[in-house]
């Protein structure tokens, strides 16, 4: 925690930076959804727990916590907490006979309740490591802009967390089907897997008119749940750029068809994607897996921030407050995911009953074995 720059002037400082940050992290791990709730969590601690967090006198009031957190550098805080989470991860042996590739999902989220003084809503772009559930980096989208200019800085930060993006699969939605993004991912040594929609009409038409009838089904899965039957089929064909597709570094064109039957009604959806990894290194089963896991950033991160932590109702609007709150929620979700918790709400409730276990985890420097 000491790696985070202290935004306060030295005169009049009552609480150590590391103590305030540890309190904030522990409280959000226990389900605190607002800055006031963080202070309430600290106030409920028994004296031994307070001492372990460095709170030797009065407990910080909600206003103290708020004034501190809205001034913390959210980018540095995310980097420090991501590093802490990754150091806690157990080392797992690689699966025999298969080369494991890291998959990073990139997606943005609008914080609907948080507005800055000018009235602009806060928009954050995140890079999410799907295997661990850890947010590697988070970048604020600038005013009067969109996610595209934030893409390269996000990858730079992700690379700083991992040391290298070489061989990594970057999966993103149709907004990021950009020529510049393809070059950026390639420059980082990674591979891009991106959905193509109507925002790239020429490319989409090229994909639609490929001779798919002549391409065999490469992978098919069937599932049944909650009265719903679903079949997914994946077809992939090798393309050559620049003549094959108007998209740099494209190695494969992919069509994923989902047929769903529910209540006697059958619907069919078709998605087209471009992948910069050649067929020898990305079989249809791999493509199906990466496409499915690309949704984890929405289902296992953004949705949880909304439903479990009430993010869209949180009206933080001062300074770095909205981004810092998002970093703390990212950390809580990543922490519980790394502990094998499928239900984050239940995990936070359990954590709230065991404050000393939280303090052990947050203050320990030991890697999980």
Cα(36)–Cα(242) distance, integer angstroms:
56
Position 93 confidence tier, pLDDT thresholds 50, 70, 90: low
In sequence order, which residues have a C-beta less than 8 Å from that of residue 23 and are 6 or more positions away?
38, 41, 42, 53, 55, 60, 65
Provide the total of helices (H) and of strands (E) in the chain, helices listed first.
14, 9
Report pLDDT digits (tens) over 34-75: 999 999 999 999 999 999 999 988 888 889 899 999 999 999
Least confident interval from 1-10, 43-52, 303-312, 320-329: 1-10
Give the mean model confidence (pLDDT) for residues 140-148.
84
Q: What are phi and psi of 281, to 5 degrees?
A: -110, -5
pLDDT at 2: 73
Give the mean model confidence (pLDDT) for residues 242-266.
89
Q: Is the pLDDT of residue 94 over 90?
A: no
Report pLDDT digits (tens) over 125-138: 999 999 999 999 99
Cα(62)–Cα(35) distance, integer angstroms:
7
228-238/265-275 β-pairing: unpaired
Helix (H, G, I), strand (E, B) or coil at 328: helix
Q: How far is CA 147 from the centre of its chain?
A: 14
Position 119 confidence tier, pLDDT thresholds 50, 70, 90: low
Give the mean model confidence (pLDDT) for residues 266-295.
94
pLDDT at 345: 97
Cα(85)–Cα(135) distance, integer angstroms:
9
Q: What are phi and psi of 350, to 5 degrees?
A: -65, -45
Q: How far is CA 298 from the centre of its chain?
A: 8
Q: Tokens for 344?
A: 């984050």
169-172/103-115 β-pairing: parallel
pLDDT at 6: 86
Position 169 confidence tier, pLDDT thresholds 50, 70, 90: very high
Q: Which helix (H) or strand (E) holds 84?
A: helix 74-88
Please, what is the average pLDDT of the chain?
90
- How many CA atoms does the CB half-sphere of 70 hold within 13 Å? 17
DSSP classification of residue 32: -
> CA-based angle 130:136:142, to the nearest 5?
115
pLDDT at 91: 64
Q: Is the pLDDT of residue 112 over 60?
A: yes
Least confident interval from 62-71, 150-159, 235-244, 279-288: 235-244
Q: What are phi and psi of 310, to 5 degrees?
A: 60, 40
Q: pTM for the full model?
A: 0.90
Give the mean model confidence (pLDDT) for residues 188-192.
98
Q: Is the pLDDT of residue 159 over 50?
A: yes
Give the mean model confidence (pLDDT) for residues 320-337.
95
Whose tokens are 């970048």? That residue is 139
Cα(208)–Cα(329) distance, integer angstroms:
40
pLDDT at 366: 47
| Torsion 47-53-57-62 (CA) sign | negative
Beta bridge partners of 192: 170
Q: Tokens for 362?
A: 């947050």
Q: How far is CA 166 from the centre of its chain?
A: 19
Report pLDDT digits (tens) over 199-221: 999 999 999 999 999 999 999 99
Cα(289)–Cα(283) distance, integer angstroms:
10
Share of the chain above pLDDT 90, in %: 72
pLDDT at 96: 47
pLDDT at 15: 86
pLDDT at 56: 84
Q: Tokens for 284?
A: 């249809």
Cα(20)–Cα(144) distance, integer angstroms:
34
């Amino acid at each position: 925690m000491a790696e985070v720059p202290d935004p306060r002037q030295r005169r009049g400082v009552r609480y150590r930076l590391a103590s305030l940050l540890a309190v904030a992290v522990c409280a959000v791990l226990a389900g605190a959804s607002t800055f006031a709730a963080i202070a309430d969590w600290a106030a409920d601690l028994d004296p031994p727990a307070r001492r372990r967090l460095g709170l030797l006198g009065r407990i910080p009031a909600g206003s103290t916590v708020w004034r501190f957190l809205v001034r913390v550098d959210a980018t540095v805080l995310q980097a420090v907490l991501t590093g802490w989470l990754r150091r806690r991860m157990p080392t797992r042996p690689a699966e025999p006979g298969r080369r494991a590739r890291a998959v990073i999902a990139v997606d943005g989220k609008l914080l609907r309740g948080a507005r800055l003084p000018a009235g602009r809503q806060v928009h954050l772009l995140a890079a999410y490591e799907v295997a661990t559930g850890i947010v590697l980096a988070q970048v604020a989208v600038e005013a009067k802009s969109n996610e595209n200019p934030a893409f390269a800085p996000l990858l730079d930060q992700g690379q700083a967390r991992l040391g290298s993006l070489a061989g990594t699969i970057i999966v993103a939605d149709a907004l990021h089907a950009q020529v510049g993004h393809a070059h950026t991912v390639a420059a980082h040594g990674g591979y891009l897997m991106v959905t193509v929609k109507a925002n790239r009409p020429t490319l989409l038409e090229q994909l639609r008119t490929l001779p798919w009838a002549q391409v065999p089904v490469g992978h098919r899965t069937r599932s049944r749940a909650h009265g719903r039957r679903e079949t997914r089929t994946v077809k992939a064909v090798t393309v050559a750029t620049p003549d094959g597709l108007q998209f740099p570094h494209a190695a494969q064109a992919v069509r994923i068809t989902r047929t769903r039957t529910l209540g006697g009604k059958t619907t069919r959806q078709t998605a087209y994607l471009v992948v910069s990894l050649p067929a020898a290194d990305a079989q249809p089963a791999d493509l199906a897996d990466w496409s499915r896991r690309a949704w984890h950033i929405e289902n296992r991160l953004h949705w949880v921030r909304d439903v479990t932590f009430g993010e869209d109702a949180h009206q933080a609007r001062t300074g770095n407050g909205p981004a810092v709150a998002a970093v703390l929620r990212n950390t809580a979700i990543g922490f519980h995911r790394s502990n094998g918790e499928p239900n984050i709400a239940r995990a936070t409730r359990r954590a709230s009953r065991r404050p000393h276990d939280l303090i052990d985890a947050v203050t320990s420097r030991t890697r999980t074995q």
